[in-house]
Structure 1
Amino acid sequence: MKSILKAMALSLTSSIALATIIFFVIYKLATRSKSTKNSLPEPWRLPIIGHMHHLIGTIPHRGLMDLARKYGSLMHLQLGEVSAIVVSSPKAAKEIFTTYDITFGNRPETLSGEIIGYHNTDIVFAPYGEYWRQVRKICTLDLLSAKKVKSYQSLREEECWNLVQEIKASGSGRPVNLSENIFKLIAMIFCRAAFGKGIKEHKEFTENVKEMLRETGGLDVEDIFPSKKFLHHLSGKRARLTSIHKKLDNIINNVVAEHNVKTASKTNETLLDVLLRLKDSAEFQLTADNVKAIIVDMFTAGTDTSATTIEWAISELIKCPRAMEKVQAELRKALNGKEKIHEEDIKELSYLNLVIKETLRLHPPLPLLLRRECHQAVNLAGYDIPNKARLIFNVFAINRDPEYWKDAETFIPERFENSSTTIMGAEYEFLPFGAGRRMCPGSALGLANVQLPLANILYHFNWKLPNGASYDQIDMTERFGLTVVRQTELLLVPSF
């Protein structure tokens, strides 16, 4: 009798649970808008998680590209409680950037912006408004102008030569971890540009920056359920970001405390000199936290993106011996046995620049541009977009659109020959630095930090894979994060 009652109780419990689920699904279907006439196309969805199951097991930018090929280059995804519009074609991107740039000019509030961005007072996460406009102005006129980028030329040349010497000291024929060496190089260039010198806690600082970049990929539980604060704690994300932030904050506080502001000409100012000078200006005052937020922004946005671009460029060249031979021949002919490379020596080297552009096309530093948020309802390409909808630009898909690029998946630097394209395509088919008001303001600095290191690595050394592996055996697997890096570190054998 007891077993019968237990079975009946279990059956009743199961029936109640099933009925609850059916009621929930029917309720959700019944309360959805009856008209889908002006709604964007979308895949089938599940309750609560929405369309997240379509991305399970994928690298997000590739998973989104596959969905776009099936449902359209402008599609809607419900990512948990977040309504997102995914843009995957140059045509759609052009319409948004040229017509609706202000409408989609805001940033959504995120856990990363709150903690790492000093309550969204950096450049990247700051909401669209007067503060953002003023900080953006400081960046373009004072921190990242062409003149300022040029002023860091000597330190770039010095650090690149240090890398060459370090690789030579390790010996010909011995494997070199280029991933580690390149990141260390770019980090040192940024430290000297920001602070005038390397810092005592350099290794700790760069390791925390790396950890922060791994934690801010953009599709974690706090990104798809931003209002469910308890999940941010349960996932451990808030604690991890807070720990990283405290470490970075302490290091920057120490640097600022030891820093002596220069009274020399503005041309020789470091980034910190500029910010501290502007901190107490009458025109626009910055707080101490604002200064630190911008410094963290500059370092994180510039270091990993430049280092990753160099890594992918070398990886693609190893995979394509024809292009490697061509770019090395150009460098060696132009430099003609010269020992140290100066930026003027390589400024006009066309094939080197074609290699960099093609690398940025296939491996944009941020394949999914940081989210934008609509601040009012709008009709986009005939579709109704609600207020607060988030916009995801899949630059990875845009840069590989077969309607604009022949053999879009193949590394062909020559495709940019006789092209006036610089950092953005005329039809928005090439967007390595984004576009519009939120376009990366540091493109000039980023390109300078790619061109010279890449030239040094290719000019001074010939490279091959370890253990006699053939060029087509190079591992090109990606690891997703804020920037998409190689899954495995780039280990190559130099000869000189």
Structure 2
Amino acid sequence: MTQYESPWWQVMSTHNHNLTPVLAAIFVLIGAAVLWYRSTLSSSLPPGPRHLPILGYLPFLDPNLHTHFTNMARSYGPIFKIWLGSKLYVVINTQELAKVVVRDQDETFANRSPTIAALAMSYGGQGIGWSNNNSSLRNLRKILVHQVLSNKNLEESGSIRRDEVRKMIRNVYSKMGAKIDINEISFSMISNILTTMAWGKDNHFGVELQIVISKIVEMIGRPNLSDFFPFLKWFDLQGVERETKMHSKNLDRLLSNIINDRIKSNSESLDVAARHEGKRDLLQFLLELKDQKDTTSLDIDKIKALLTDTMIAGTETTTSLTQWAMAEIMHNRNIMKRVQEELADIVGTSNIVEESHLPKLKYLDATIKETLRLHPGVPLLIPRSPSQTCTVGEYTIPKGSTVFVNVWAIHRDPRNWDNPLEFNPERFLTREGMDKYDFKGNNLKFLPFGSGRRACPGVPLATKVQTYILASLLHSFEWSLPEGEEHDFSDVFSIALKKRKPLVAVPSQRLSDVSLYM
């Protein structure tokens, strides 16, 4: 697909031509309904581009939505609307208007607008990522934030992360001088960390699980006519729902085996405190909560949905960020030198990186923040949907419409950042920068993980793992591109912002003591 082809034209060029008469008939029937619906809406909607009567703006939509929307904002202003099929989308492009959505009217905008594929993989929207704002969501977030990701639990699971990082370093060392896919090694390591934290090492589904998750992520990012024309959902013309359900069924089978094995193991152990050496992983904790009928509404499907969310969100965003950070650091040799000098000062050249070193790595922290500023993992965040008709920037936002917060545009807004297209970690090292910007979205100029009640709850683990990976790779090895290759910073819009060309790099030994690689 060329950069000028929209998902619409991609779909129309690949669908079964036997369905053309069916499509034509359906569009005729729904066309009048769509036109009537649009005519009933107030004229106080945000401005937006001209669109076709039934298709809306769909034929003109560039697949890289983050850059396309940012360019459109220059023509239509900080808030604009587009009709895609029969559905209304509103795009927020400035921190001032983002504040209205994620702070001032956070509760109104706390619902999601899930795609058909997202619903299919999340047990009907029962996890944290795609659930509407309800008591079940608040309960799951409370469990994840205050129990699973508490400082105490993160500290207790430190050995898991250390083991996997050391395994990754040994793996890279065994391939020194050869080409290494950064995406591949980071995805494998992160998924091992998450699965071990979630249900322990006593599972045999690692590789199969990674394959299934990759397939589901691919389906979520695939454009689907049924999302733009809900009337078409029953036909599933492109097979997106059918294929997503197939992969989700495979994932459900794996999770069922893991859960059933744990339930069986628990039933055979009379001493609860002795299970797993007194440590409760995420699955154990959730199963114990499920049995407390008076305090929680957890069931097996909600447990599976939470485990699925944890795996998909954790692997995709962290893996993507690792690639972007390594690419930027390798491209800016002075920055790489500065990062490695800091590592030599804090860690030492006769030692390995430990998690206790991470809070002291200020320059690496600034480099990660700058990477997330230029390459936010989810550049439009997960879309929101107002629970009632409301007003943003003097414009009417109808109940049930889909609202994107364009973090990509906010992070590159020259009103917020000097030389916004320049990769410059120094901007986060000033006294003002260190005080103002964190990963929690407290300053709306910088909100890579969102802000408000729908902000990503996994930030403490994600930032810890991300820093640990990069610190270890850059402390242990020198990195360069394969001979004759140049850096490519083009991207592809999906559930997470991906490099169009995966980063392949060649490592060489940096530490003199070979035992540090064992």
TM-score (norm 1): 0.89
Q: Is 1:68–1:88's contact at 8 Å kept on the other side of the alignment?
A: yes
AA aligned opposite 1:124: G
Q: Which residue of 2 aligns with 1:6?
A: none
Q: What secondary structure is seen at the aligned counterpart in 2 of 1:455?
A: helix
Paired residue type of 1:279:
K
Tell me what 2:490 maps to: 477
- Asked whether the equivalents of residues 218 and 482 of structure 1 are also in contact (C-alpha less than 8 Å), the reply is no
Query: Which among 217, 220, 224 is matched to residue 221 of structure 2?
Result: 217
Deviation at 1:239, TM superposition (A): 1.3
| Counterpart residue number, 1:435 | 451
8 Å contact 1:94–1:427 — kept in the other structure? Answer: no
Q: Pick the aligned partner of 1:457 from 473, 477, 480.
A: 473
Query: For the Cα contact (< 8 Å) 2:98–2:444, is it kept in 1?
Result: yes
CA distance in 1, matches of 2:42, 2:239: 40
The 8 Å contact of residues 88 and 395 in structure 1, kept in 2 or not, is answered as: yes
| Segment drifting more, 198-207 vs 161-170 | 198-207
Structure 1 position 279 matched with structure 2 position 290: yes
Question: Could you tell me which residue of structure 2 aligns to residue 407 of structure 1?
Answer: 419
SS at match of 1:467: coil
Q: Deviations over 1:211-269 (max 9, x none)?
A: 111211274323222342134x2111011101111110111111112223563599821
2:279 counterpart residue number: 268
Partner SS for 1:457: helix
Taking the TM superposition and a 5 Å limit, the aligned residue runs for 1:20-39 are 28=35, 32=39, 36=43, 38-39=44-45
Q: Is the 8 A contact 2:224 2:238 kept in 1?
A: no
SS at 2:372 equivalent = helix
Query: Which of 54, 65, 90 matches 2:60?
Result: 54
In structure 2, the partner of 1:255 is 258
Q: Cα offset for 1:410? A: 1.6
The separation in 2 between residues aligned to 1:490 and 1:156, in whole angstroms, is 23
Cα offset, 1:334, TM superposition: 1.8
- Contact 1:123–1:294 (CA<8 Å) still a contact in 2? yes
CA displacement at 1:207 relative to structure 2: 1.1
Shift of 1:323: 0.8
Query: Does residue 345 in structure 1 map to residue 357 in structure 2?
Result: yes
Counterpart check, 1:83 vs 2:88: yes
Partner of 2:324: 312
- Seen in structure 2, the aligned counterparts of structure 1 residues 167 and 30 have a Cα distance that, compared at 3 Å, is closer
Q: Equivalents in 2 of 1:426, 1:242: separation in Å?
A: 37
Deviation at 1:270, TM superposition (A): 0.7
* Secondary structure in 2 matching 1:85: strand
Q: Does 1:357 align with 2:369?
A: yes
Change (3 A) 1:342 1:76: same
Q: Which amino acid aligns with 1:452?
A: Y
Q: Distance in 1 between matches of 2:469 and 2:237?
A: 42
Which of 336, 339, 343 lines up with 1:327 in the alignment?
A: 339
1:486 correspondence with 2:499: yes
Residue 40 of structure 1: which of 34, 43, 46 is its match?
46
Q: Greater shift after overlay, 325-334 or 447-456?
A: 325-334
What is the aligned partner in structure 2 of residue 138 from structure 1? 143
**Cα 1:35–1:456 shift into 2, 3 Å:** closer
Counterpart residue number, 2:515: none
| Maintained 8 Å contact 2:194/2:311 | yes
1-structure distance, mates of 2:337, 2:320: 22
The 1:203/1:361 distance shift into structure 2, 3 A limit, reads same
- In structure 1, distance between residues paired with 2:338 and 2:171: 26
Q: What residue number does 2:21 align with?
A: none
User: What residue identity is the alignment partner of 1:366?
Assistant: V
Aligned partner of 1:103 among 101, 108, 115: 108
1:327–1:48 distance in 2 versus 1, CA, 3 Å = same
**SS at 1:367 equivalent:** coil
Contact 1:148/1:267, CA 8 A, preserved across alignment: no
Structure 1 range deviating more: 45-54 or 398-407? 45-54
Residue 378 of structure 2 corresponds to residue 378 of structure 1: no
Query: What is the match of residue 4 of structure 1?
Result: none
Quote the offset at 1:425 in angstroms: 5.0
- Pairing of 1:238-253 with structure 2 (within 5 A): 238-253=241-256
2: CA distance, partners of 1:203 / 1:222: 32
> In structure 1, what residue type is equivalent to 2:251?
L
SS in 1 for 2:483: helix
Q: What is the aligned counterpart of 2:428 among 416, 419, 438?
A: 416
The gaps in structure 1 that reach 5 residues or longer are 1-16
SS in structure 2 at match of 1:86: strand
State the AA in 1 paired with 2:302: N
Distance 2:101 2:183 in 1: 36
Confirm whether residue 184 of structure 1 aligns to residue 188 of structure 2. Answer: yes
Does 2:209 correspond to 1:205?
A: yes
Determine the C-alpha separation between the residues in 2 that align with 1:28 and 1:337: 68
Does 2:155 align with 1:150? yes
Question: 1:34: Cα distance to partner?
Answer: 9.5
Q: Tell me, which stretches of 5 or more residues in structure 2 are unaligned? A: 1-23, 267-271, 510-518
Say if 1:151 and 1:267, in contact at 8 Å, map to a contact too. Answer: no
Q: 2: distance between equivalents of 1:387 and 1:405?
A: 34
Name 1:164's counterpart in structure 2.
169
- Structure 1 range deviating more: 76-85 or 138-147: 138-147
In 2: Cα distance, 1:100 partner to 1:182 partner: 37
Q: Matches of 1:351 and 1:159 in 2, distance apart?
A: 24
SS at match of 1:463: strand
User: C-alpha distance in 1, partners of 2:251/2:295?
Assistant: 29
RMSD: 2.3
Aligned mates of 1:223, 1:412 — CA distance in 2: 39
CA distance in 1 between counterparts of 2:158 and 2:461 reads 10
Q: Secondary structure at the match of 2:360?
A: coil
Partner of 1:466: 482
SS of 1:488 mapped into structure 2: coil
Cα distance in structure 2, aligned partners of 1:362 and 1:49: 33
Would the aligned equivalents of 1:367 and 1:394 in 2 still touch at CA under 8 Å? yes
Q: Assess, with a 3 A threshold, how the Cα gap between structure 1 residues 370 and 226 changes in structure 2: closer, same or farther.
A: farther
TM normalised by structure 2 equals 0.86
Query: Does the 8 A contact of 1:372 with 1:391 survive in 2?
Result: yes
- Map of 2:234 onto structure 1: 230
Secondary structure of the residue aligned to 1:170 is: coil
Secondary structure at the counterpart of residue 258 of structure 1: helix
Q: Structure 1: how far apart are the matches of 2:37 and 2:229?
A: 23
Measure how far apart 1:395 and its partner are: 1.2
What is the aligned partner in structure 2 of residue 13 from structure 1?
none
2: CA distance, partners of 1:326 / 1:468: 25
In structure 2, the residue matched to 1:117 is 122
Q: Does the 8 Å CA contact 2:440/2:449 hold for their aligned counterparts?
A: yes
- The amino acid of 1:151's aligned partner reads E
Taking a change above 3 Å as real, the CA distance of residues 34 and 285 of structure 1, as seen in their structure-2 partners, is closer
